[in-house]
Structure 1
């Protein structure tokens, strides 16, 4: 497909109709339909069928879409880079971070980076850990910072330090009188935490099992950033990373969780940075912010 056909195909897949796609691309419906028909004829594929008055993608279109979407985003990234080179701009770096570290190490590193390079454009994405890895694999980010393992042969990883887990409690909770909180203290309380199919959940399962207890999750979360509001509203207690617990805000208090459970803070480097010098500078700022918070990678 040429670039225009790709754009039209992607728009129809995303909006579900020719009318909506034409509006999105600011073209007439007949023009868009003509481009779509020409693509189908050129490649001898039927991409869409009308079923009960609705436009439905064919299996072939469904198979093509993820690849077409990736190519379209790569083209958009290339156009932005060409424009930056043409206009003499300071370049661009793209950072994807786990939501729990966005407000601490991520924010501190970005502030330092921007102070040093105010001419550079920085894209800052705070996401669930799995989406951080996907951003890097799809080359939509140059660097990642996450508390969950990243398994991808094309990505380079570096452990910057270790973050311990903490128990997050409602303000005024009797458990706040304790210096430390363990599984035996919260086993009968509504627990806000990750499922056992996640890295965090498996580590917590092991900590409970060490005390001869079974971890029972009352409210399952998929990103730690949702826990503080739930705890603050009185929905239960949570086990989250200490960085997030420290920034949870009013209505909550945290205590160290014992037995000690630690997760590695991992810097992830993509395989095709658009501006290597800027990316290296941002990576250095992330390392410095992590060292200031955590004291290095010794655990």
Structure 2
């Protein structure tokens, strides 16, 4: 059986006509090339070259073998290119599961930037709760998760990739839009869209009210900040929304104000310990972290 190295030597000698030149191109000694040719002829059972005027002239059989070998070399080159692209993160498949506020907000914009240099990348995007994130990562159905709530599971690795905070959003013509900063407890005096006390967001807001001996009141309960933001855009009331959902182009119909006290938030990148983390997933984590840092600076300004 002829191996790839023997085919490479055969094709090179056919191309340049001498073992000396082939040895130079392949960075080996001339005797090594001659020995390889003789060994290959022994394997195939017939001559591959004849000498004419100091040059090696390939036989018809050698030319036929070399021609077929070109397909192998092209395929090998294609495989090498794919490996290099995978190493560089320019092709492949990236499966992401994210909480809705991230999936409806910053994720599409960051993915658009990420894919400008990776047009051949295939994506799979799912939105779900923290429980759904855990299920998909543990089962291997997702490479990476993005969440504003830290999932807790022994099979998961969690990395903080961004810092944010809850911001007060209200329609542009709302009375609160006249204030430069909104006290969280003042939301009890307006039509307030908020989150159940059983959710992490609801508990964080409840803590502010409890510290002042108050009970939080709201007229509409939603599960996700993305839903709250859309309701504010529709003029239904005022809400506290994570700053990650507010990154990017502003909305002229909505006013964003910082709160007193500040309610900090984090975004987490989550991967499974049960499966190797793909190079693409690692690259996108870093890319998202950079985008969050840039976006936070713009929002602060």
Q: Same fold (TM over 0.5)?
A: yes
Shift in alpha-carbon separation, 1:268–1:209, aligned structure 2, 3 A: same
Distance 2:182 2:247 in 1: 16
Q: Equivalent residue for 1:285?
A: 287
Q: Equivalent residue for 2:134?
A: 133
Q: Equivalent residue for 1:268?
A: 270
The answer for unaligned runs of 5 or more in structure 1 is 1-84
CA drift of 1:273 comes to 5.2
CA drift of 1:131 comes to 2.9
- Deviation track 1:105-145 (CA, whole Å, cap 9, x = no partner) reads 42343223312322221212233444333322332211111
Q: What is the TM-score with the length of structure 2 in the denominator? A: 0.62
Distance 1:212 1:167 in 2: 21
1:217 paired with 2:239, answer no
Distance 1:125 1:176 in 2: 34
Q: Equivalent residue for 1:193?
A: 194
Shift in alpha-carbon separation, 1:233–1:114, aligned structure 2, 3 A: closer
Kept after mapping to 1: 8 A contact 2:233/2:254: yes
User: Which one has a bigger Cα radius of gyration?
Assistant: 2
Shift in alpha-carbon separation, 1:229–1:112, aligned structure 2, 3 A: closer
Distance 1:271 1:231 in 2: 39
Report the 3-state secondary structure (helix = DSSP H, G, I; strand = E; otherwise coil) of the residue aligned with 2:268. Answer: strand
Kept after mapping to 2: 8 A contact 1:93/1:142: yes
Kept after mapping to 2: 8 A contact 1:128/1:222: no
Kept after mapping to 2: 8 A contact 1:196/1:205: yes
The answer for unaligned runs of 5 or more in structure 2 is 1-78
Distance 1:235 1:130 in 2: 29
Kept after mapping to 1: 8 A contact 2:148/2:265: yes
- Deviation track 1:191-243 (CA, whole Å, cap 9, x = no partner) reads 21110000010000011222332112321111111112322333221111122
Within a 5 Å distance, the mapping from 1:30-179 to structure 2 comes to 90-179=91-180
Q: Equivalent residue for 2:261?
A: 259
- Deviation track 1:236-285 (CA, whole Å, cap 9, x = no partner) reads 21111122245673532121121110111111112355772222222221
Report the 3-state secondary structure (helix = DSSP H, G, I; strand = E; otherwise coil) of the residue aligned with 1:187. Answer: helix
Distance 2:227 2:170 in 1: 14
Q: What is the TM-score with the length of structure 1 in the denominator? A: 0.63
Distance 2:157 2:276 in 1: 16
Task: Supply the RMSD in Å over aligned alpha carbons.
Answer: 2.5
Aligned residues: 209
Report the 3-state secondary structure (helix = DSSP H, G, I; strand = E; otherwise coil) of the residue aligned with 1:120. Answer: strand
Kept after mapping to 1: 8 A contact 2:168/2:257: yes
Within a 5 Å distance, the mapping from 1:16-35 to structure 2 comes to none
Kept after mapping to 1: 8 A contact 2:225/2:241: yes
Shift in alpha-carbon separation, 1:244–1:175, aligned structure 2, 3 A: same
1:249 paired with 2:251, answer yes
